[in-house]
Structure 1
Amino acid sequence: MKKYFDILRKHVLTGTSYMIPFIVAGGVLFSIAIMFNDSASVPTEGFLGDIATIGQVGLKLFVPILGGYIAFSIADRPGLAPGLIGAYLAQEVNAGFLGGILAGFIAGNVVKQLKKIQLPISLKSLGTIFLYPIGGTLITGLIIICFIGTPIALFIDHLTKWLSNLNQVDKIPLGAILGGMTAFDMGGPINKVATLFAQTKVGTFPYLMGGVGVAICTPSIGMGLATLLSPKKYSAEERQAGKGSLLMGCVGITEGAIPFATSDPIRVIPSICIGAIVGNISAFMMGVLNHAPWGGLIVLPIVEGKLAYLFSILLGSTITAIMVNLLKKKQIKEEIKEEEFEIEFDEL
């Protein structure tokens, strides 16, 4: 079982290593555009609008890159196109980065099985560049559209209706629900349901965005802070991603925590959820009102209860950082050395 999970982790880490530059470049550029926009929102015109567009492209590409290189790790070059296209389709059906990971594994294993089919010698040269990519893309795409897209759409619909009936629920359980949902998949379907619920009520119940605005940024800030507090527990790539994650969190981009969640979901996802829950409840209980449908420090000028808002962000982020660092027992350096030895041994 341990060997099986080590293999899975190796494939996910391969996808993550290729994904990080996209999410950092896109996230930082998008953050800069929002940060320098006067209205603390996404600019759509002028030079800042162009920067925001470039950043959004980077943020939209990272899920396909993640899925594509997971499939590449499993099935080599023939898996790349099915993985990229499958993960893109997963993103289009609002499956988020978790859907991208699933698409990568589906594509990689589909192509791996196709490669076992004995082809005539005359067709072998066509397998890598023609038959395997086309067959893998078709099968993976149909699985994503038919068996993943529809259930996710139904799930989102039911989740939205359920959440809409919680208006009168006490603030502590409501804050826990919204905080956990916002952090759980970092921009995925569950996150979108929670944030949209609060955003649509910003005019009538601004306290909802007061809490959700905190939960939006604590995953990214918390993981960035974690890399600063215990740098030896993170790879060089993750430490660099941590710097970008801090900036993304400050301007309300939850996706900054995704590189950490993909490489170590068992420790990272519970940590960011607990931090977001505590931060959200804290903001609710201290009466923070956020009149913007956004989160992070960028909306501070239009927040009522600024000190409480800042305290809640600091509290949630610190809890995330401390919790994830306590859970991370192994030094990344040692793990990398072991992987490098195995690669060199295989090559010999």
Structure 2
Amino acid sequence: MSSNDTADTLRAYLTSVKEDLMTGVSFMIPFVTIGGIFLALAYAVGDTQTVFENTGSAGWFLAQIGTAGLTIMVPILGGYIAYAIADRPGLAPGFLLAYLLQQGAVIEQAALVVGLSGGSSGAGYLGAIVAGLVAGYVARWFKSRDVPGVIQPMMPVLIIPVATMAVAAPLLLFVLGVPVAIANQSLTTFLETMQGGQAIVVGLILGGMMAADMGGPINKVAYVFATGLITEGIYAPMAAVMIGGMVPPIGMALSNFIAPHKYEAEMYENAKSGIPLGLAFITEGAIPYGAADPLRVIPSVVSGSAIAGAMSMALGVTMPAPHGGVFVVLLSNKPLLFLASLLVGTLVTAAVATLIKPDFEERINAETSSQSTQPTNN
């Protein structure tokens, strides 16, 4: 096999894994949305310190709904990653294995068996991703086996799920689960205790990633990272990610309004739709600008989103809801600072784009003259 074939195979595999992860995330998002919003409402209605103790109160009932959503979202992630890989036979093993890896007592005992310590808080969403991938690939392997026709009807509902659990459970509990749980615990501790410069750096990275490809794989990595942390009760990265994802379409639209002569005439209509798309946290609203002039637009949106994300983290802004944009801003602990970070990032993007973009007609003329001066083959 040539190096090109190897590269193509690897690229296809990575694309497949990304699609499987995105399937899991797409099924998980409604659960985390319900959980985050209802838990935020519980804190708004009741005292954040005693809402779980005031049984029977409105805040307590809202908190139960929110906790249920955030608890089940992690197994849902693992289950539907496995489902994306192996279809129905992978769903139950992926769900159950992801659930098992969230049980701190189970992971702690597994760690003792292999001579390690730690993992008492469970493996978190990282464990769910690993569980979903392992369960999915094991189930798909069993699914590809040739079996007698009399056994075939039992394969998807009995044999494959049970066999997958029998193979994957020891692997995940005693080999992969403990290190993932320890890593998850270390990451959680770092994010909970980070201060000053650390928070700013995290915000810069997450905000910049949200704008780098405007809804592509880099954007999704940052989004999944922040969404997963909601289950750990860490909400600041989600605020940075949401603000960073809102900046590009709004900032580019503002630049278009300020300097329409620097954009193609048709782009003015994109600017009109870019504002509501950005406010709704739909980063893809900036794609028309990025596609038309990526060398200038991408640095513009990344700079604005990175600064907005850093500002959000530095100010301690949080967001318990994974989606909604400005429509869920009141769920933030600091709504005004959330909006201030968004405004600053938007202004930075608009300013940078307006400064570095030449007049549209000048750019077209320059490109045309450059093409006309290129030597032609006789």
Q: TM-score range by the shorter chain?
A: 0.5 to 0.7
Q: 1:47 aligns with which of 58, 65, 68?
A: 58
Query: Larger deviation: 129-138 or 3-12?
Result: 3-12
Contact between 2:251 and 2:345, CA under 8 Å: does it hold in 1?
no
Contact between 1:219 and 1:275, CA under 8 Å: does it hold in 2?
no
Structure-2 residue corresponding to 1:186: 226
Structure-2 residue corresponding to 1:253: none
Pick closer, same or farther for the CA change 1:191–1:181 going to 2, 3 Å: farther
Is 1:146 aligned to 2:174, yes or no? Answer: yes
Pick closer, same or farther for the CA change 1:143–1:174 going to 2, 3 Å: same
Q: 1:96 aligns with which of 110, 114, 124?
A: 124
Alignment partners' CA distance in 1, 2:332 and 2:86: 45
Alignment partners' CA distance in 2, 1:299 and 1:20: 18
Structure 1 gap segments, 5+ residues each = 196-212, 234-238, 246-269, 324-348
Structure-2 residue corresponding to 1:66: 77
| 1:314-347 CA distance string (max 9 Å, x none) | 6579889x99xxxxxxxxxxxxxxxxxxxxxxxx
What's the CA shift for 1:78? 0.8
Q: 1:217 aligns with which of 239, 254, 270?
A: 239
Is 1:279 aligned to 2:319, yes or no? Answer: no
What's the CA shift for 1:55? 1.6
What's the CA shift for 1:177? 5.7
Pick closer, same or farther for the CA change 1:65–1:273 going to 2, 3 Å: farther
Structure 2 gap segments, 5+ residues each = 1-7, 105-121, 208-221, 254-268, 271-275, 283-302, 322-328, 353-378
Alignment partners' CA distance in 1, 2:169 and 2:157: 18
Q: 2:152 aligns with which of 124, 130, 142?
A: 124
Query: Larger deviation: 9-18 or 155-164?
Result: 155-164
Structure-1 residue corresponding to 2:93: 82
The aligned amino acid for 1:280 is M
Contact between 1:218 and 1:317, CA under 8 Å: does it hold in 2?
no
Alignment partners' CA distance in 2, 1:218 and 1:73: 29
Alignment partners' CA distance in 1, 2:33 and 2:185: 31
Count of paired positions:
259
Q: 1:12 aligns with which of 12, 21, 29?
A: 21
Contact between 1:71 and 1:79, CA under 8 Å: does it hold in 2?
yes
What's the CA shift for 1:180? 7.4
Is 1:113 aligned to 2:141, yes or no? Answer: yes
Contact between 2:101 and 2:177, CA under 8 Å: does it hold in 1?
yes
Alignment partners' CA distance in 2, 1:138 and 1:230: 53
What's the CA shift for 1:108? 1.0
Contact between 2:38 and 2:63, CA under 8 Å: does it hold in 1?
yes
Structure-2 residue corresponding to 1:345: none
The aligned amino acid for 1:32 is L
Pick closer, same or farther for the CA change 1:24–1:90 going to 2, 3 Å: same
Contact between 2:206 and 2:244, CA under 8 Å: does it hold in 1?
no
What's the CA shift for 1:81? 0.5
Q: 1:136 aligns with which of 129, 153, 164?
A: 164
Alignment partners' CA distance in 1, 2:34 and 2:192: 36
Contact between 1:33 and 1:42, CA under 8 Å: does it hold in 2?
no
The aligned amino acid for 2:139 is V
Structure-1 residue corresponding to 2:117: none
Q: Percent of counterpart pairs with the same letter?
A: 28
Pick closer, same or farther for the CA change 1:4–1:160 going to 2, 3 Å: closer
The aligned amino acid for 2:88 is R
The aligned amino acid for 1:128 is P
Matched position secondary structure for 1:117: coil
TM-score where L is the length of structure 2: 0.52
Pick closer, same or farther for the CA change 1:69–1:166 going to 2, 3 Å: closer
Alignment partners' CA distance in 2, 1:191 and 1:318: 32
Q: 2:44 aligns with which of 25, 29, 35?
A: 35
What's the CA shift for 1:175? 3.5
What's the CA shift for 1:101? 2.4
| 1:148-178 CA distance string (max 9 Å, x none) | 33213443566689899999xxx4x344466
